[in-house]
Amino acid sequence: MNLGVKDLEVKATEVRRGVLDMVYRSKAGHIGGSMSSIDILTTLYYNILNIDSKKFSDLGRDRFILSKGHIAEALYYILADRGFFDKEKLKTYSKYGSTLIGHPNNKNNGVEVNTGSLGHGLPIAVGMALAGKRDNKDYRVYTLMGDGEQAEGSIWEGAMAAHNYKLDNLIGIIDRNRLQISGTTEEVMALGSLKDKWTSFGWEVVEVDGNNIEELVKIFSKIPIKKDKPTMIIANTVKGKGISFMENKAKWHHGVLTEEEYKKATKELEGGHLNE
């Protein structure tokens, strides 16, 4: 699938609307981080990734790992929309006995690995990318991390390994919305210049507006940006993007919507795609 920018913008709004329904219906989920990440996920799954729901186990497929696994609802919606499983299953999200639990679960087609313990996604992606290099495969491995997740030591072990093995088939993405469950990232664990940090670890680093799909398409289309170097994309985003009362509010890292809030959010999202 290779949607154009305008169609991707419309699709991103559709995904936001679907995730809103899932979270409201289940009274669970991490809606703020889902909303900030949806433009990134939409660009990847509808324009960039070499994947096919009918041949999910194909050895040449691209791999995507959702390291910030608490936004599983966004990934589940997109996988269902891409045909990896029936959309009706989305109604079971976070219900007893469902495989659509609160963090990615590889009992669902399209989920490469179980994630949710922060800091694990990048090291796993490094292993997958290294395997691709050694097997002479041309697939790419993408992993989406949170910015609060950058405080995990395993992230930096993976960063060193990726540089050491010259993994230019590895693409890291940081959802830089500057908020985590207990406040701003700079209050909880100051990150300073993430660009400088990742550059010092030997990565090719670019910063983009992570809620601007046109920018995202341009950057992802240039990968690998530099031969023999892994790529890190720092995507500056807005937590709760698209729902006015959620935007830039740490309380919506995880929150249960009232009926009134659900109706207001629905009305805003049904007003048209965000970048018009």
pLDDT digits (tens, 9 = 90+) for 66-88: 999 999 999 999 999 999 999 99
Top-confidence residue, 180 or 117? 117
Q: CA-to-CA distance for 50 and 63, rounded, in angstroms?
A: 8
Instruction: Collect all residues with Cβ–Cβ distance below 8 Å to 260 and sequence separation of at least 6.
Output: none
Structural domain containing residue 24? 5-269
Mean pLDDT of 215-238: 97
What residues does 142 pair with on adjacent strands?
A: 64, 171
Specify if 256 maps to a domain: yes
Task: Determine the pLDDT at residue 254.
Answer: 87
Number of neighbouring beta carbons within 10 Å of residue 136: 6
Phi, psi dihedral angles at 130 (to 5 degrees): -65, -40
* Residue 158, domain CATH: 3.40.50.970
Written as six digits, the tokens of 42 are 């939409």
Give the torsion sign (CA, 214, 111, 225, 149): positive
Q: CA-to-CA distance for 250 and 265, rounded, in angstroms?
A: 17
Specify if 68 maps to a domain: yes
Specify if 274 maps to a domain: no
pTM of the model: 0.95
Specify if 275 maps to a domain: no
Rg (CA), the chain: 17
The verdict on whether omega for the bond into residue 224 sits within 30 degrees of 0, i.e. cis, is yes
Q: CA-to-CA distance for 122 and 171, rounded, in angstroms?
A: 9
Task: Determine the pLDDT at residue 274.
Answer: 46
Specify if 144 maps to a domain: yes
Number of domains in the chain: 1
Contact (CB, 8 A) for 129 and 141: yes
Specify if 276 maps to a domain: no
- The model's pLDDT over 54-67, given as tens digits with 9 standing for 90+, comes to 999 999 999 999 99
pLDDT band at 227 (very low <50, low <70, confident <90, very high): very high
